[in-house]
Structures are given as C-alpha cells and as structure tokens.
Amino acid sequence: MRKNEPMISEQKAELLSESPEETLDLGERIGRMLSDGIVIRLIGDLGSGKTLLVKGIARGLDVPSQYLITSPTFTLVNEYKGRQPLYHADLYRLSTAVDFEDIGLLDILCEDAVVVIEWAEKLTEDIENTWTIHFATIDDQKRQIVIKAQGDNAIELLKKLEK
C-alpha cells in the first residue's frame, strides 16, 4: 500500500496518514467530495486524529475559516454552516450507550447535512448511509485509517475517494 492512497474493496478503504497535516488533508478531500447527506462515525483513542479529520471535512465543506472547529465534548453537538450543514457530535462524556434521538440527532438525519460523530462506538443505532472511520495510532505522527461504508450511497462515495 502506498502512502495516503486508499485500497478500495467493495466496502472498505485503508490508508496510512504519516502526519497530522495528511489527516487534515484527507478530511478536506472527503469534505470536497460530499454532495449528499451522510453520517460519519469516528472511532479511535484520544489524540488519534478524529477532531483533526473533522477540521479537514469542515474546510472541504467550505465552512468559513472564522469558525473554530473543536470537539463538542461538553455541548455534545456543534453546527457549522458551509456548502452543506455540518453537525459535529462528541459522545466521549456519555457513560452509557445512546441512540440518535437521545442526543437530538434524529431530526438532523432528515436534512441534507453531514453528521460526524466522535466516539461513535457508543451509538446503538445502525444507520444506512454511513461511513465508520477507525483510527489506530502507530506513533506520534502516523495513523492507520480504515474507512468502512454501509449503504449504496456511502459505498459509491468511498469509491470516489480512490480517484
């Protein structure tokens, strides 16, 4: 596998980010590709690059640079206006499993928006048009990133990432 080039199977892409800048750039590439609403579930340890990827997605969605993209650890959900609305949720502080209704995201799913959820392993619902992105820390800079797509639209979007 070459650096930062996804290996695509029908539902999965794997890549290596060798720096925080590459993770940010990957997020921006993803954000630029998005034209329909999608739920992106982020899973990884603290400091693995989840919020950095969201910053890149926001950049790719043309969220104005005056917005400070931070993890909504205490507010649970932040909303940013861009080419498409971006809802950024963080479930880190929640001690039990939750569903979208519990955190107010059920109505958002009906919109043409991008919903990105950190600590998504705490969600109980299975959503049709979803990417699940797993971050594994290799060292201080490098991250193994695995993207799994569920649903026809999400799989098609994943194929676009290869191009």
The confidence band for 1, taking pLDDT boundaries of 50, 70 and 90, is: very low
Average pLDDT of span 103-121: 80
Number of domains in the chain: 1
* Residue 1: inside a domain: no
* Residue 37: inside a domain: yes
* Residue 6: inside a domain: no
**Structural domain that includes position 74:** 15-162
Least confident segment among 114-118, 120-124, 141-145: 120-124
What CATH code is carried by the domain that includes residue 26? 3.40.50.300
- What is the per-residue pLDDT across 60-104, written as a single tens digit (0 to 9) for each? 999 999 999 988 877 788 999 999 999 998 888 777 766 667 777
The three state secondary structure string of 99-160 is CCCCCCCCCHHHCCCEEEEECHHHECCCCCCEEEEEEEECCCCCEEEEEEEECHHHHHHHHH
* Residue 4: inside a domain: no
Q: What is the DSSP letter of 66?
A: T
* Residue 62: inside a domain: yes
* Residue 115: inside a domain: yes
* Residue 131: inside a domain: yes
Q: What is the DSSP letter of 67?
A: S
